[in-house]
């Protein structure tokens, strides 16, 4: 067993009394003394600060859009300077190697990728002959919530003026240069701030000193993203899931659908034209018990319908919510399903995602 | 004062004056689990065997089994924690109790960890 990697905020987490866990080989705070429900509410009502330094930050220097488009189905060539976009590395079967944010900075593209897939992503770029720089020396903070913009209006007004999915390089509270994007993983307005590792604790401490801001851990990050209907790699999407099955076809523009010039294009085309065999859906179990990942889903006639990939009790709704995959012929908003939880049959029905409406900034 | 014993599964078991045992999870357990959002308790009158899964507590993150600390019959369950699972976090060794049981073997209680033994066990984790 190898030692856990720590982020530049490790000492701060411990001072704040965080409970640390192993996540993808990193020691990260799962919760602080206030607890997950309070942290969740903090992000929905004010502002929460998450340490997401475990995520990989990777630069592709120069004019790398054409190279990157060999690996992803998104529109990178037309990604304007100062904007960020969601896309995937796909394998030859159309499965998702990783989901990514790609930002167009002056003179380069900056990718933010999942910690659990970092090695696979770097290897994939290397094998594909694409030069990359992995920024081990930068931390990543996510400031999320309806008050996040008010905080940055005081500490870094250039960042506070960004549109949704806009990016810029600027100082925050005099610290930086920070790479700031107006994005996140909670369904709320918010920012992700990349900062030199040596300045990370100073910046985090400065942000936490703001009255609207409190720290939040991985458990709250998970309940927030699930309420927002956002996919977690390794649960809701993986090497065996196509973006079309996952309901993420909106990331693939017409130009790429026509050219079919990306890995797995044959499968993606087939799923687009003939429909995928299964679809990701939102599920509301009736009653109180949450249906966790791995729960079998049956149709009303008793036939196998699919499987839950993420499930919890929604702190906002006070009721269980889940996402999962069901056979395409069964995927329909409002239609009933049966969940097999610990030997019991629980009634459930499908709902539109997200469970809690997004409140992003204007584009 | 009623005596309380413990298990390595982080349950506490209190011997009541009438010989029944009240069972819950320790402060260490509730802290490790995080905010508890759902609990499923056993049916009253169910006969349970030591080590058998008799309840499930779910935090925002995961489901966790709770085991019968000793064999016996479930005499009563705490409906208050079913209605308000957060009670387990707020008062794990008081209002947040799970169930009362009648032990099959009255001497079994004595075989459980005492407070000192449980504290020593926590030190090893």
Residue of A219, A224, A286 to mutate, interface with B, max B Cβ within 10 Å = A219
For residue B113, tell me if it sits in a domain: no
Asked whether the CA dihedral B115, B118, B120, B122 is positive or negative, the reply is negative
Q: Tell me what the mean pLDDT of segment A272-293 comes to.
A: 95
For residue B125, tell me if it sits in a domain: no
A197: closest CA of chain B, how far (Å)? 29
Query: So what's the ipTM on this one?
Result: 0.80
**Cα B47 to Cα A215: distance, rounded to the nearest angstrom:** 45
For residue B123, tell me if it sits in a domain: no
- Write down the pLDDT at residue A363: 86
Which residue from A172, A132, A168 is spatially nearest to A148, judged by alpha carbons?
A: A172
- The tokens of A283 are what? 């599920």
Tell whether B91 lies on the interface with A, counting CB pairs under 8 A.
Answer: no
pLDDT band (50, 70, 90) for residue B9: very high
A361: closest CA of chain B, how far (Å)? 28
Q: Where in chain A is the domain with CATH 2.40.30.110?
A: 277-351
For residue B37, tell me if it sits in a domain: yes
pLDDT tens, residue by residue, A345-360: 999 999 999 999 999 9
Highest mean pLDDT among A252-256, A287-291, B2-6: A252-256
**Which residues constitute the domain of residue B8?**
4-106
A328: closest CA of chain B, how far (Å)? 29
- pLDDT of B1 > 70? The answer is no
Let me know if domain A277-351 sits in CATH 2.40.30.110: yes
> Which CATH number covers residue B53?
2.40.50.100
- The tokens of A305 are what? 């319908």
Structural domain total, chain B: 1
Q: What is the DSSP string of A290-344?
A: PPPTT-EEE-TTS-EEEEEEEEEEETTTTEEEEEEEEEGGG--TT-EEEEEETTE
- The tokens of A61 are what? 């220097």
For residue B25, tell me if it sits in a domain: yes
pLDDT tens, residue by residue, B66-122: 999 999 999 999 999 999 999 999 999 999 999 999 999 989 999 999 999 999 999
Tell whether B53 lies on the interface with A, counting CB pairs under 8 A.
Answer: no
> CA torsion A358→A228→A28→A26, rounded to 10°?
-110
Do residues A228 and A282 touch, judged by C-beta distance below 8 A? no
Taking an 8 Å cut-off on Cβ atoms, the answer to whether A36 and B61 are in contact is: yes
Tell whether A292 lies on the interface with B, counting CB pairs under 8 A.
Answer: yes
Which residue from B11, B118, B103 is spatially nearest to B64, judged by alpha carbons?
A: B11
Q: Quick one: fold of A1-275? A: Gyrase A; domain 2 (3.30.1360)
**Cα B24 to Cα B22: distance, rounded to the nearest angstrom:** 7
For residue B47, tell me if it sits in a domain: yes
A288: closest CA of chain B, how far (Å)? 7
pLDDT tens, residue by residue, B35-55: 999 999 999 999 999 999 999
Q: Tell me what the mean pLDDT of segment A283-302 comes to.
A: 95
Taking an 8 Å cut-off on Cβ atoms, the answer to whether B34 and A36 are in contact is: yes
pLDDT tens, residue by residue, A88-107: 999 999 999 999 999 999 99
Q: Where in chain A is the domain with CATH 3.30.1360.120?
A: 1-275
Residue of B nearest to A321 (CA): B60
For residue B17, tell me if it sits in a domain: yes
- Write down the pLDDT at residue A134: 98
Taking an 8 Å cut-off on Cβ atoms, the answer to whether A313 and B38 are in contact is: yes
């Amino acid at each position: 067993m190898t030692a856990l990697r720590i982020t530049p905020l490790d000492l701060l987490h411990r001072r704040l009394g965080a409970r640390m866990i192993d996540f993808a080989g990193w020691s990260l705070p799962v919760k602080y003394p206030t607890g997950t429900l309070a942290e969740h509410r903090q992000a929905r009502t004010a502002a929460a600060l998450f340490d997401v330094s475990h995520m990989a930050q990777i630069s592709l220097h120069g004019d790398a859009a054409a190279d990157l488009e060999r690996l992803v189905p998104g529109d990178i060539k037309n990604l304007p300077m100062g904007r960020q976009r969601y896309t995937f590395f796909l394998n030859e079967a159309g499965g998702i190697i990783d989901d990514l944010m790609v930002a167009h900075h002056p003179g380069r593209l900056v990718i933010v990728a999942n910690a659990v897939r970092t090695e696979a992503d770097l290897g994939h770029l290397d094998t594909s002959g694409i030069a990359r720089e992995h920024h081990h020396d930068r931390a990543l903070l996510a400031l999320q919530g309806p008050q996040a913009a008010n905080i940055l209006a005081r500490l870094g007004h250039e960042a506070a003026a960004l549109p949704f999915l806009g990016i810029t390089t600027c100082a925050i509270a005099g610290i930086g240069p920070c790479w700031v994007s107006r994005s996140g993983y909670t369904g709320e307005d918010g920012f992700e701030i990349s900062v030199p590792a040596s300045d990370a604790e100073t910046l985090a401490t400065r942000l936490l000193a703001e009255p609207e801001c409190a720290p939040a851990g991985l458990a709250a990050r998970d309940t927030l993203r699930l309420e927002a209907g956002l996919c977690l790699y390794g649960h809701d999407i993986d090497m065996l899931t196509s973006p079309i099955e996952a309901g993420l076809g909106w990331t693939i523009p017409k130009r790429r659908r026509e050219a079919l010039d990306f890995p797995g294009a044959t499968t993606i085309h087939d799923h687009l034209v003939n429909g995928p065999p299964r679809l990701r859906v939102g599920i509301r179990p009736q009653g109180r018990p949450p249906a966790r990942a791995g729960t079998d889903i049956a149709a009303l006639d008793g036939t196998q319908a699919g499987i839950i990939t993420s499930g919890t009790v929604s702190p906002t709704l006070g009721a269980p919510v889940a996402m999962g995959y069901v056979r395409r012929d069964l995927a329909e908003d409002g239609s009933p399903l049966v969940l097999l939880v610990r030997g019991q049959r629980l009634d459930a029905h499908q709902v539109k995602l997200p469970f809690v409406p997004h409140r992003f900034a204007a584009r | 004062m009623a005596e309380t014993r413990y298990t390595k599964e982080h349950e506490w078991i209190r011997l009541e004056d009438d010989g029944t045992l009240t069972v819950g999870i320790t402060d260490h357990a509730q802290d490790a689990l995080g905010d508890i959002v759902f609990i499923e308790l056993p049916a009253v009158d169910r006969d349970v065997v030591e080590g058998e899964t008799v309840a499930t507590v779910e935090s925002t993150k995961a489901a966790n089994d709770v085991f019968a600390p000793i064999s016996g019959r479930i005499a009563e369950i705490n409906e208050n924690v079913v209605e308000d699972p957060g009670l387990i976090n707020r008062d794990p060794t008081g209002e947040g109790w799970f169930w009362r049981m009648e032990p099959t073997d009255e001497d079994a209680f004595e075989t459980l960890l005492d407070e000192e033994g449980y504290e020593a066990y926590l030190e090893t984790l």
